[in-house]
Structure 1
Amino acid sequence: MSVTSDDLKKKPLTFRRYKDGETRNERKGANWIMDADHTHKCPEYVLSTPPCQGSCPAGEDIRGYLNIVRGIEKPPAGMPWQQYAFERITSANPFPSVMGRVCPAPCESGCNRNEVEDHVGINSVEHYVGEYGIANNLGFTKPEKNSGKKVALIGGGCASLSAAYHLTLKGHACTIFDDHAELGGMMRYGIPGFRTPREVLDAEIKRIIDLGVEVKLNCHIGRDVTMEQIEKEYDAVFMGLGAQSGRPLPVEGAEAPNCVTAMAFLKAFNDGRLQHVGKRVVVIGGGDTSIDVATVARRLGHITKVNENDRPEHVIAGQVAHDVAQVSAREGAEVVLISRATMDKMNANKHEIDHALAEGIDIRGGVTPVAVIVGADGRATALRVAEFDMVKNETVIRPGTEVDIAADLIVSAIGQAVDFTGLETFNNGNGLIKSDKNYQIPGKPGFFVGGDVIKPHLLTTAIGHGAIAADGIDRYLAGAEQEKRPKVDVHHFDLLRKLEEKGLQPTEYDHKQVWGTDSAKFSVHNFEDRSLKYVIPSDELFLGHFPFVPRHVRNMTMLDAEQALGNFEDRLDVLSEKEVIDEAKRCMSCGLCFECDNCVVYCPQIAVFKVKRDVNTTGRYVDTDYSRCIGCHICADVCPTGYIKMGMGD
């Protein structure tokens, strides 16, 4: 019906919801939102962070590379999907093959698929992609421009290597200083080679160095080179010292020469110096490091003929051993691992505990060290342990529960410490370095920090520290203020980047007044990115969409006590290409469309439609015709990933 000028004089035409002076909605209850088969809401497409990414200390775009592997997100023309997935992983973490093996995978613990049957084997996929990268000699592209700025990185572990990688890609010249003979830090000197094969570690480090990173080995900052020299020559400094000193047992008798720390033990082994451990070894701990020590000791075993100078404690202390292990019969060692925690509450990975048990290692939980029993020659002969109770945070020994465990070597794996020799001014009083959210050292402009020197944690955590610190260093070198880090600090799928990749990026806004933007080309219509602030939980997904699909589990070689002796081979097999694709298909793509067509099929108004092929891309597979939509919210109900939300309409 047409409206005349006379009609307008009688009653003004208005689209206003409220009258003048009305400040709130007077309607009673919430029923006005939904009326039978329609609502005053409309569907919108909301990108959220999945809990796997929210749980990843390195902030990997896990959902992104799983969608690449399964074929949802397509690589650029002519690029294998494996390479595209490799590039997506290494945008956050330059060590996919190493981390695919040794990371305890908090991402898998957070995976929403656990609410269906079992988590997605994220580590398995990362392992496969990392191995593909090495086998196909994939490298990183050097930046086209250099900033002219120089950054010194102190320490050659994964935090410094990660920071150097990201900084070099930003155009800054990096020099790594390390007091070891080789780079790698805890990846090389703290984890045995049968968990991180050295050829794999070397290949992933080489890719970073090949970007043009300068390396100065056997150089201790604070002794060989002063910090004053570093400050004079470099524009910024990253402190990635690591925590490669061990903590001795805090009990009487622990000063005996054959009581050593786990860090010293593992370094001697990884250096190739330690070749036998004695007949009886006792390890104190409960974390992954204690398991590493115990399994190494089981593999090394003891030899039938040993000279005084060839005892393991002398080798660990740095003395040169004779090559007696090569000419003497080798026998298995009796290895006991004791932990204050019961076995079900130990911090070590469950599968590593299972391996240790299968290899004949005796694990005794719920006891605490009381004293080291020392013989007449000053060497430890046994470790005394006892059951205990915690009373007001104090350890109270239960009388009569003391037991002596015979030992030729006692290894303390109860924690790590930082060597601040020559750098004492950086010690915060607790043996660590303090930092802010950008990993900048307070009161020290241009000094940043990352890794175990902040707080000993996972290798993946140190990699994440390096990436975030690199952002902070980049801003510092540009003279910009440090930004507040996002609530969910991860690498995530970027729809605008994807549109640009396909030549579909929005046009420049001409600032002309328009009525609505559903067809405008200067914006991404009806899309909201919440990924920097919101992790989507399982109760916002349509879990009924996902059938039971067993996880594809990597084969891990299980050894018994006899087989473990002298066996230093890689234990973990990589999945096949088909298996890794099938495993990626188990991903529920939480918070991002994975093109299931549910919303199109179930929409009763035919309002939801597929975007035309020449303009669609990941995250823009479907759209809504609002001239048809009645707000019935069926599309949101059947969206498996929680990507469709019902937003308030006007």
Structure 2
Amino acid sequence: MPSLSKVLQPIAPTCPAETPAADALKQLTSSGTDALLVVKNGAFVGLFGHREALAAFADGSGPVESYMRRPLPGRNIADSLESGADIMYREDTPVVLMTADEGPLFKKTSRTVGIVSAFQVLDEIGKTTTDTASNKVFVGRRDLGLNVPVSPCQRACPIHQDIAAYVDYVSQGRYLDSWLVIHETNPFPSMLGRLCNHPCETDCKRGWVQGPENAVSIKSLKRFATDYAWARRVTIDWQRAPENGKRVAVVGSGPAGMTAAQDLRLMGYGVDLYEREAKLGGLLSASIPHFRFDLDQLNWEIQMIVDMGVNIFLNKNVGKDLKLEQLLNDYHAVFLSVGMMTGRILPVPGSDLPEVISAMEFLRVRSYDIVPDNFPRGGDVVVIGGGAVATDAAQTSIKTGARKVWMVSIEPADRLPAFGNELVEAREIGLTLHTGVIVNAIKGDSSGHVNGVEFIRVDENKLEFDPESGKLLINTVQKLPGTEHVIPCRYAIFASGQIMDFPQDQGVPLTPRKLMEADTGAHTKVAKLFAGGDSVQGPSFIVDAVAWGHRAARSINEFLGASVPRDAKPLTVIETTDDHREADYYNREEPPILPAEKRMDMTPVELPWNDEQAITAALRCFQCDTVHHVDESTCILCGACDDVCPEKALDVVVYGENRDTSSGGFVEICNTVLGEEFGGKAGKILVNYDRCTNCRICEDHCPVNCITFQRVRFRDDAMQMIPLTPVASAAKRPVEA
């Protein structure tokens, strides 16, 4: 890799140590540079950059010396870019002072010749390392406009988590580092570590090689790192931009709303969050039964966002208690993330009987540890639907004391939309499935109470499913006359879809599906109004809602035109990653769950991994975010790497020679001309990253040691970890305003 001399800049503007910080702040702003060098007695003693300016923003009467960052690290211009990035990371500085050696060997002196900044180092590393892996690149990450190597799993993730990095940190036992990487884009890893639909695992290269059932256990590793952080009661202290005087209202405290609130606070906005329930979390806390997650961990994650200064207003139903027009008048922007928290009850005869309830309402009531009215403890329950919500309602009914629970669906048993593992768990504790039928009526007795549900069979041979989503095409459902039958029960739960419950007289534009009309950036046609999450997209997954929150916050920031005067140039970390070749010895392992006899209440059922299980699961990762780095000054184009590659992913091309080029590779990782001692040959090395599994055999067999594997990642300097007071502390709880 090139030396630091390649990115050398002139010495930054200087500032005497006794200068008032307020004056230094003006000088920094007018100079347009990253930092001022603080001078005392003719020597550079410290650095005054944007972060120090934030500290001096409120009261800049003291001398700049009292705010500066010290010590001022230095490097020789002959040192490598890697060493510069390393000291920037370790010393937490955006600028390094550069020196050059002068004089004969035994009388050398050092002279200050300039500086290098983190951005220049980042840019040059981007040219020399990341651009050699163009098919691994996600363009524009962190709004820097730069190319960053990412893995297939990261590309598939809706919030683009740095998955390979946090998985690798677990393999090294760096569990808190792993958790911090996760939190860079994911405010709810305790939930997504248990309940994510994990599209990352679908695109895992380990799954490509060994079959989809053998993908790396990414979701469970996220949960492991989060459990570790929770057990040590740590939290994140965010570096926030100064208050900019602009206020944003967020309506709904689900994953989209809470994520947007967090991001907007980081940008310096005042955020007021309105929630119609008596608690925060939206669907996370009010729709997902508590046996699926750790409620204390969720409250810990929510509290970290609240502690950033978000103002909470509980039991406020916007559109009813408070008109949207008033919010638009009172705030600079409004973000609606109201979700789809109301369940649909099909309008069949008897659906208005008192023992009929939607699954969403049933789960909402149970989330407050209350048993719904008319629920028949010791009686039979029928759940109508075959998806994840139906499974949750069915298991919750069993755990609430129902004698027998049926889950009834149109889809055949092998096409149920519910997750397979959840169905297995439900059947282990007593759930009975009845498939291939459609509800005809709710039957009532002479007193007007439910005593059964009537179904009619459908022609399963005529059912068709959407080839992309796998959902049933309802227009292909054909009833079979004469197959009517009744399942006796005393309670009926409809898990037949969800609707958006937001008053239509509030001026929010709607689609033909009665969803809020907004683009993928959450912009609506109403000035100052943004909308996102399930209320725009329809029922989806938690991670999709988090992605909506991030996009909405960015769109609001762009709309309001506010600048973010904190360091916007994250430091670059160059890591030589560990060898994971032993991964082939381990098989995928799922987290254990409680035995069926211990799953009859609302206790969380999924058990944690121990260290050995987590590390071996992490070692299975191919580390697809790492790239080859070939020292072109050393490579002799011998072809040894090509010869030993077990995946035939490399081609060594020597111009004028007829060598095999069967890898299909198009990413050039080396282009060199050899010296006279090697005949002056010229050539290049190409790699096919769709084949490469980062086994590093090429690195081992290189006779001149010119191949290394490196990861380039950004360190989020807005985060630091601090000890946490107990999460149950009354002083920390959000209160109704």
One fold, TM greater than 0.5? yes
Structure 1 residues 630 and 575 mapped into 2: Cα distance closer, same or farther (>3 Å)? farther
Larger strand fraction of residues? 2
Which one of the candidate residues 452, 458, 461 is aligned to 2:544? 461
Could you tell me which residue of structure 2 aligns to residue 418 of structure 1?
500
Which one of the candidate residues 425, 433, 447 is aligned to 1:355? 425
CA contact (8 A) 1:253 1:372 kept: yes
Structure 1 residues 197 and 69 mapped into 2: Cα distance closer, same or farther (>3 Å)? closer
Cα RMSD (Å): 3.2
Separation in structure 1 between the aligned mates of residue 635 and residue 583 of structure 2, nearest angstrom: 17
CA contact (8 A) 1:100 1:127 kept: yes
Could you tell me which residue of structure 1 aligns to residue 693 of structure 2?
640
Specify the code of the residue in structure 2 equivalent to 1:57.
Answer: P
2:229 paired with 1:128: no
Could you tell me which residue of structure 2 aligns to residue 196 of structure 1?
293
CA contact (8 A) 1:104 1:349 kept: no
2:86 paired with 1:86: no
Separation in structure 2 between the aligned mates of residue 180 and residue 100 of structure 1, nearest angstrom: 25
1:278-317 matched pairs, under 5 angstroms: 278=377, 279-302=379-402
CA contact (8 A) 1:153 1:177 kept: yes
- CA deviations on 1:511-551 (whole Å, 9 max, x unpaired) are xxxxxxxxxxxxxxxxxxxxxxxxxxxxxxxx999736301
Separation in structure 2 between the aligned mates of residue 430 and residue 265 of structure 1, nearest angstrom: 24
Between 199-208 and 223-232, report the one with greater CA deviation. 223-232
Structure 1 residues 221 and 636 mapped into 2: Cα distance closer, same or farther (>3 Å)? closer
Specify the code of the residue in structure 2 equivalent to 1:593.
Answer: V
Aligned sequence identity (%)? 27
Separation in structure 1 between the aligned mates of residue 685 and residue 672 of structure 2, nearest angstrom: 13
Separation in structure 2 between the aligned mates of residue 61 and residue 194 of structure 1, nearest angstrom: 28
2:316 paired with 1:219: yes
Secondary structure of the corresponding residue to residue 507 of structure 2? helix
1:229-308 matched pairs, under 5 angstroms: 229-274=326-371, 277-278=376-377, 279-302=379-402
Which one of the candidate residues 147, 157, 164 is aligned to 1:63? 164
Structure 1 residues 603 and 354 mapped into 2: Cα distance closer, same or farther (>3 Å)? farther
Query: How high is the TM-score relative to the length of structure 1?
Result: 0.70
- CA deviations on 1:342-361 (whole Å, 9 max, x unpaired) are 22211111110100111110
Which one of the candidate residues 605, 610, 620 is aligned to 1:576? 610
Separation in structure 2 between the aligned mates of residue 265 and residue 224 of structure 1, nearest angstrom: 24
Specify the code of the residue in structure 2 equivalent to 1:227.
Answer: L
2:469 paired with 1:407: no
CA contact (8 A) 2:581 2:695 kept: no
Separation in structure 2 between the aligned mates of residue 376 and residue 607 of structure 1, nearest angstrom: 82
2:248 paired with 1:148: no
Specify the code of the residue in structure 1 equivalent to 2:433.
Answer: I
Question: Which blocks of at least 5 consecutive residues in structure 2 are unaligned?
Answer: 1-130, 138-149, 464-473, 564-568, 643-667, 675-680, 699-737
Residue 132 of structure 1 and its aligned partner are, at CA, apart by 2.3
Residue 593 of structure 1 and its aligned partner are, at CA, apart by 2.5
Structure 1 residues 50 and 602 mapped into 2: Cα distance closer, same or farther (>3 Å)? farther
Could you tell me which residue of structure 1 aligns to residue 558 of structure 2?
475
Structure 1 residues 301 and 141 mapped into 2: Cα distance closer, same or farther (>3 Å)? same
Question: Which blocks of at least 5 consecutive residues in structure 1 are unaligned?
Answer: 1-42, 72-79, 303-332, 481-495, 504-542, 609-621, 645-650
Residue 82 of structure 1 and its aligned partner are, at CA, apart by 2.5
Q: How many residues align?
A: 490
Could you tell me which residue of structure 2 aligns to residue 626 of structure 1?
672
Separation in structure 2 between the aligned mates of residue 596 and residue 380 of structure 1, nearest angstrom: 73
Between 625-634 and 365-374, report the one with greater CA deviation. 625-634
Specify the code of the residue in structure 2 equivalent to 1:272.
Answer: D
CA contact (8 A) 1:252 1:371 kept: yes
1:380-459 matched pairs, under 5 angstroms: 380-389=450-459, 390=462, 393-421=475-503, 424-426=506-508, 427-441=510-524, 443-454=525-536, 455-459=538-542
Separation in structure 1 between the aligned mates of residue 504 and residue 326 of structure 2, nearest angstrom: 13
Specify the code of the residue in structure 1 equivalent to 2:618.
Answer: A
Query: How high is the TM-score relative to the length of structure 2?
Result: 0.62
Residue 301 of structure 1 and its aligned partner are, at CA, apart by 1.1
Secondary structure of the corresponding residue to residue 139 of structure 1? strand
Residue 479 of structure 1 and its aligned partner are, at CA, apart by 6.8
Could you tell me which residue of structure 2 aligns to residue 376 of structure 1?
446
Residue 138 of structure 1 and its aligned partner are, at CA, apart by 2.0
Separation in structure 2 between the aligned mates of residue 635 and residue 346 of structure 1, nearest angstrom: 42
CA contact (8 A) 1:180 1:219 kept: yes
Could you tell me which residue of structure 1 aligns to residue 416 of structure 2?
346
Between 338-347 and 287-296, report the one with greater CA deviation. 338-347
Separation in structure 2 between the aligned mates of residue 632 and residue 429 of structure 1, nearest angstrom: 56
- CA deviations on 1:387-445 (whole Å, 9 max, x unpaired) are 2135892532112322211110000001111111375422435321011121111x213
- CA deviations on 1:317-350 (whole Å, 9 max, x unpaired) are xxxxxxxxxxxxxxxx200001111222111111
Residue 497 of structure 1 and its aligned partner are, at CA, apart by 4.8
Secondary structure of the corresponding residue to residue 584 of structure 2? coil
Which one of the candidate residues 406, 414, 423 is aligned to 1:336? 406
Separation in structure 1 between the aligned mates of residue 155 and residue 347 of structure 2, nearest angstrom: 37
Residue 208 of structure 1 and its aligned partner are, at CA, apart by 0.6
CA contact (8 A) 1:221 1:422 kept: no
Could you tell me which residue of structure 2 aligns to residue 26 of structure 1?
none
Separation in structure 2 between the aligned mates of residue 595 and residue 399 of structure 1, nearest angstrom: 69
Specify the code of the residue in structure 2 equivalent to 1:44.
Answer: T
Separation in structure 1 between the aligned mates of residue 176 and residue 339 of structure 2, nearest angstrom: 31
Specify the code of the residue in structure 2 equivalent to 1:579.
Answer: Q
Separation in structure 2 between the aligned mates of residue 394 and residue 163 of structure 1, nearest angstrom: 40
Separation in structure 1 between the aligned mates of residue 389 and residue 584 of structure 2, nearest angstrom: 38
Structure 1 residues 106 and 502 mapped into 2: Cα distance closer, same or farther (>3 Å)? closer
Q: Which has the higher contact order (CA 8 A, sep 6+)?
A: 1
Between 629-638 and 84-93, report the one with greater CA deviation. 629-638
Specify the code of the residue in structure 1 equivalent to 2:390.
Answer: S
Structure 1 residues 624 and 229 mapped into 2: Cα distance closer, same or farther (>3 Å)? same
